[in-house]
């Protein structure tokens, strides 16, 4: 992985209410196969790797303007029964590993890599959803999106704001009355569509991968 790619990692800590000392640290990393292999941390850590490349992509029109940081895009991905079942399976495997590690003495770090094709939509979706599912585990949880260069907290908030604007737009409230887009959405599409729409491709079907 290049230094520039390393510097583009989004590092987000999922915090909650005051709780007892952490049982360990869980790192969830999304990445795209086409952007190179994932380099795990050095040192003694446990590692799991999952592939979601066989999960159906959300519609192209949505991928052009949204990433997995968008609740709207995540909802589209998770509407697929196969995606929902995969999330359940991943959650069960991760929680089982966490339980196994917590029974041992010493500090614990579990590194979980989640791969799709480009590292923008499906892998990000699963990393975000997984972090929400196990947020009350008593572990410190860190979510990083290796291939979302330029996307940080402000960008995530902007995507959520765009979701809200679209939901409240006249076209979404009254499908038959018009399809004009708001100025914010138009600007957002022009800005992101020109620079990154051509990068998004549908991943080839691949069997579920699990590496311990």
Which helix (H) or strand (E) covers residue 115, if one does?
strand 109-116
Higher pLDDT, 200 or 181: 181
Say whether pLDDT at 212 is over 50.
no
Structure tokens of 153?
């907290």
Cα(204)–Cα(130) distance, integer angstroms: 23
Return the top range by mean pLDDT from 106-115, 117-126, 141-150: 117-126
pTM, to two decimals: 0.65
Q: Which residues of 129-143 are buried (b: 16+ CB within 10 A; e: fewer)?
A: bbbeebeebebbbbb
pLDDT digits (tens, 9 = 90+) for 5-53: 343 344 444 444 555 566 789 999 999 999 999 987 776 689 999 999 9
Cα(129)–Cα(92) distance, integer angstroms: 13
Per-residue model confidence (pLDDT) at position 82: 98
Cα(136)–Cα(132) distance, integer angstroms: 8
Which helix (H) or strand (E) covers residue 75, if one does?
helix 71-78
Say whether pLDDT at 184 is over 60.
no
């Amino acid at each position: 992985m290049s230094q520039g790619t390393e510097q583009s990692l989004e590092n987000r800590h999922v915090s909650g209410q005051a709780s007892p000392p952490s049982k360990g640290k869980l790192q969830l990393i999304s990445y795209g196969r086409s952007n190179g292999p994932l380099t795990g941390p050095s040192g003694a850590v446990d590692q799991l790797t999952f592939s979601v490349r066989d999960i159906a992509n959300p519609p192209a029109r949505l991928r052009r303007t949204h990433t997995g940081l968008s609740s709207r895009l995540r909802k589209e991905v998770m509407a697929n029964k196969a995606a929902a079942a995969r999330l359940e399976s991943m959650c069960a495997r991760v929680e089982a590993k966490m339980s196994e590690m917590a029974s041992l003495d010493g500090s614990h770090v579990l590194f979980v890599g989640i791969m799709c094709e480009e590292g923008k939509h499906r892998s990000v979706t699963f990393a975000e959803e997984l972090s929400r599912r196990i947020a009350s585990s008593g572990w410190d949880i860190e979510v990083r999106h290796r291939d979302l260069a330029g996307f940080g907290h402000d960008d995530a908030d902007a995507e959520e704001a765009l979701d809200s604007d679209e939901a409240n737009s006249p076209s979404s409230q009254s499908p038959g009355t018009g399809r004009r887009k708001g100025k914010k959405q138009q600007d957002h599409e022009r800005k992101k569509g020109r620079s990154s729409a051509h990068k998004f491709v549908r991943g080839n079907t691949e069997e579920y991968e699990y590496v311990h």
